[in-house]
Structure 1
Amino acid sequence: MSEDVVVRGLAVGGRAVTTDEVVRVEGLSRTFGRGEHAVHAVRDVSFSAGRGELVAVRGRSGAGKTTLLNLVGGLDRPNAGRVVVAGHEVTSAGERELLELRRGTIGFVFQTFGLVPILSAAENVGVPLRLARVPAAEREERVAVLLEMVGLGGHAAQRPYELSGGQQQRVAVARALANEPDLLIADEPTGQLDSETGRSIMDLLRAVVHARGMTALVATHDSALIDLADRVLTLRDGHLVDD
């Protein structure tokens, strides 16, 4: 898939980045354990990301990429620092507010796809919409649009085991976009895919981000995919060493 992709009727050809800030991270730190056994996974990290921007987070295994993404997405709590996403302070949010943020403001794509095996592609994409109590007719229409957007319009009735790895990840992307989040977090979304399929997934993410004016944080160790990002954050031993 090239950048000349149509996403919900918007032709994408090149960057469409705006300056509106969606993510602000200030002095973020996370330590696991205590004393001599303490692991400083993230150390005093600060950065911001704007609307329409695809930001790659790179670093060796153990550099802190997953921990950082979990902190930004509210899946983990920092020892110090602050995270604000689309005007919502994630670090001080209670569990109910975090649940609402994950349902509407923040979408997640994981390396392992995370699809429900007994559900069809369409049903998997529709899960967030059911949780949000979107009416059935609107839900079905939105699911159909999302599957067409990721190139799987003809696979709506197939279950995950009937799809290739790349197709399963496309379903996962569509599901993450179901409630039109401001921020998309993708942790090694191409880690289980071959290089060609992985690039097509990264192309898809970039096209969607630019067309919809979202923000995406994508952790990857694949240097070939890093070139597709608008910006690159480099972590080393928990420190942000390059932006």
Structure 2
Amino acid sequence: MTQQPDRQPAAEGAGPADAAPPMMAVRDLRRSFGTGANAVHALRGVSFEARRGELTALKGRSGSGKTTLLNLAGGLDTPSGGTVELDGTDLSTLDEDGLLALRRDRIGFVFQSFGLIPVLTAAENVGVPLRMRKVPARQREERVRTLLALVGLAEHAEQRPGELSGGQQQRVALARALANEPALIIADEPTGQLDSETGRSIMRLLRAVVRSEGVTALVATHDPQLMELADRVVELRDGRIVEPAAADR
């Protein structure tokens, strides 16, 4: 049975689309490290769904299982039990080549440390995923221009990461994550190195982009103010989803 996250306000435009299959479905997901008495159970039967155009925030203390869940959702790790489905595809049915193609074509990653290539300009960083897919130059350049404009950095295309503020670098990272028109964006503490106001600005941008691009986002964060901007919040504690109190249901 699917466990319910602790808050599920209706997204803008909610209606018939809610009846559509979820973009991501996590079913009884379990992940253990080690065996026997020394085994560490990072996830203990986690289940939830996320829909297209929806931002789901993961909350929980360090060690609660957030990063493990992100790694499994992104096809970077293999569960001990349960499944992750992305747009109807069960990740456990894919071999290494299939997972590589999935991460390249269907998932965008945003990291706390930005992960930009220092010697490349903002435009070149955004274009890296498109080069990997051998997208023709003219099409690639048009997509890069569109994305930099989307995140408000059209005038900074030729600047390198070291010439940009932290918030601007994270905007470049978000544009890069969107380059291949992914189904899912995974962000691990994307505002962790930013001041509170810049972090809130990045989260507002991420939410707006998720809705405008029709992408699903799974974001791990510690900041309660940022959780307020999510469409739903999934709280983890000791590898399990925390059920909402009866008064909150």
TM-score w.r.t. length of structure 1: 0.92
Tell me the equivalent position of 1:46: 47
**How far did residue 213 of structure 1 move?**
1.6
Instruction: Using the TM superposition, give the Cα deviation of residue 242 of structure 1 relative to its aligned residue in structure 2, in angstroms.
Output: 3.3
Give the SS at the match of 2:128.
Answer: helix
SS in 2 for 1:142: helix
SS of the residue aligned with 1:185? Answer: strand
Which residue pairs with 1:23 in the alignment? 24
Provide the C-alpha distance between the structure 2 equivalents of 1:170 and 1:25, rounded to a whole number of angstroms: 28
Partner of 1:175: 176
What residue in structure 1 maps to residue 77 of structure 2?
Answer: 76
Counterpart Cα distance in 1 of 2:240 and 2:132: 37
Superposition deviation, residue 106 in structure 1: 1.1
Give the percent of matched residue pairs that are identical in Structure 1 and Structure 2: 65
- Separation in 1 of the partners of 2:238 and 2:179? 35
How big is the alpha-carbon RMSD for the aligned residues of Structure 1 and Structure 2? Answer: 1.2
User: Match for residue 104 of structure 1?
Assistant: 105
1:89 corresponds in structure 2 to 90
CA contact 1:26–1:46 (8 Å) conserved in 2:
yes
Unpaired runs of 5+ residues, structure 1, are 1-13
Aligned-partner Cα distance in 1 for 2:173–2:212: 18
Q: CA deviation at 1:91?
A: 2.1
Q: 2 CA distance for matches of 1:43 and 1:193?
A: 32
Change (3 A) 1:119 1:110: same
Q: What are structure 2's unaligned runs of at least 5 residues?
A: 1-10, 245-249
Matches of 2:44 and 2:128, distance apart in 1: 36
| One-letter amino acid of the structure 2 residue matched with residue 167 of structure 1 | Q
Query: In the alignment, is residue 126 of structure 1 matched against residue 127 of structure 2?
Result: yes
Cα distance in 2 for residues equivalent to 1:217 and 1:166: 19
Distance of 1:159 and 1:213 partners within structure 2: 29
Deviates more, 1:18-27 or 1:114-123: 18-27
Give the distance between the partners of 2:72 and 2:224, measured in 1 at CA.
24
Higher percent of residues as strand: 1
Q: SS of 1:201's equivalent?
A: helix
Tell me, in whole angstroms, the C-alpha distance in 1 between the residues paired with 2:176 and 2:77: 22
Question: What amino acid maps onto 1:202 in structure 2?
Answer: M
User: Match for 2:47: what amino acid?
Assistant: S
Q: Residue 223 of structure 2 corresponds to which residue in structure 1?
A: 222
Structure 1 residue 100 displacement after superposition: 1.0
Q: CA deviation at 1:90?
A: 1.0
Counterpart of 1:135 in structure 2 is 136
Alignment partners' CA distance in 1, 2:12 and 2:189: 22
For the 8 Å contact 1:184–1:214, the answer to whether it is kept is: yes
Tell whether the 8 Å contact from 1:22 to 1:51 is kept in structure 2 after alignment: yes
Q: How many residues align?
A: 230
In 2, are the aligned partners of 1:52 and 1:213 still within 8 Å (CA)?
yes
Taking structure 2 as the reference length, the TM-score comes to 0.89
Note the alpha carbon deviations across 1:70-119, whole angstroms, 9 max, x for none.
Answer: 10110111111111101221122111111111111111111111111111
* d(CA) in 1 for partners of 2:137, 2:94: 31
One-letter amino acid of the counterpart of residue 15, structure 1: E
2:197 & 2:92 partners in 1: Cα distance? Answer: 37
